[in-house]
């Protein structure tokens, strides 16, 4: 097959201890998966089922990168998240099967044009302009599931210029990782290449050019992002 233009690049995430990288097929993101974050956004948590939005795979950016302050916003926010990636196909799976389908875990940042997201919410429009921002899916190197162990009370935290802004534990996740995979598998034939950002704890806020964002989750490689000037 020949193409009229360059075929899309495959975006990928490094995996600790592996020479090959994890190819990104789709990026699903869970909204409001920590009660304290939902409260700070002024909304109720839906405990019955998670809800989702997506980012384009080309939004993938490696930890340690410098991201130019994006166009169209005056309120660009960080969201520190636990990332899970799948290593087996699942469709209409159980919570246990969903958990077993997880290949690796990692630290991620769901960078958000909060002003555009809020405007979309107010007008009952889709969130794409707020959430599917170029370079807004930042991933640290992944850790194989067996090496990470069970999701329990690991600390999840984020700092801006060294000042702690988000500080919680994974016990605060409303919908656990197996539950999220099982729920999403009701709507999609999930398979290796599918990446899920599991939501952010309380303490989100804005960053400006020159800020350095760092974050971590116990047992996983830390993450870093530098905000550059607008282009």
Report the interface residues with Mn ion, using CB under 5 A: 79, 110, 200
> 93 vs 199, which CB is nearer to Mn ion?
199
Rounded alpha-carbon distances, angstroms, from residue 126 to 52, 121, 136, 205: 11, 7, 17, 21
Nearest distance in Å: CB 199, Mn ion: 6
> 185 vs 200, which CB is nearer to Mn ion?
200
> 104 vs 109, which CB is nearer to Mn ion?
109
Tokens of 29: 């993101």
Query: What is the SS3 assignment for 88-143?
Result: CCECCCCHHHHHHCEEEEEEEEECEEHHHHHHHHHCCCCCHHHHCCCCCEEECCEE
Nearest distance in Å: CB 194, Mn ion: 17
Q: Name the residue with the smallest CB distance to Mn ion.
A: 110
Nearest distance in Å: CB 17, Mn ion: 28
The span from the CA of 104 to the CA of 175, in Å, is 18
Helix or strand holding residue 145 (H, E): helix 145-148
Nearest distance in Å: CB 197, Mn ion: 6
> 93 vs 156, which CB is nearer to Mn ion?
156
């Amino acid at each position: 097959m020949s193409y009229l233009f360059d075929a899309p690049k495959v975006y990928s995430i490094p995996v600790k201890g592996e020479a090959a990288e994890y190819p990104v097929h789709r990026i699903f993101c869970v909204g409001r998966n920590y009660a304290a974050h939902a409260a700070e956004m002024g909304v109720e948590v839906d405990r019955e089922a998670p809800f989702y939005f997506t980012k384009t795979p080309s939004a993938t950016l490696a930890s340690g990168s410098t991201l130019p302050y994006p166009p169209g916003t005056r309120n660009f926010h960080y969201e520190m998240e636990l990332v899970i990636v799948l290593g087996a196909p699942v469709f209409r799976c159980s919570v246990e099967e969903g958990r077993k389908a997880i290949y690796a875990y990692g630290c991620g940042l769901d960078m958000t044009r909060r002003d555009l997201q809020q405007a979309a919410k107010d007008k009952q429009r889709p969130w794409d302009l707020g959430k599917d921002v170029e370079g807004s899916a930042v991933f640290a190197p992944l850790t194989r599931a067996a090496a990470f162990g069970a999701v329990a009370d690991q600390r999840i935290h984020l700092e801006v210029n060294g000042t702690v802004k988000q500080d919680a534990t994974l016990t605060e996740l409303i919908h656990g990782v197996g539950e999220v995979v099982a729920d999403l598998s009701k709507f999609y034939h999930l398979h290796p290449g599918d990446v899920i950002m599991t939501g952010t704890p309380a303490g989100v806020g804005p960053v400006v050019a020159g800020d350095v964002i760092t974050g971590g989750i116990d047992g996983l490689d830390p993450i870093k992002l530098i905000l550059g000037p607008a282009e």
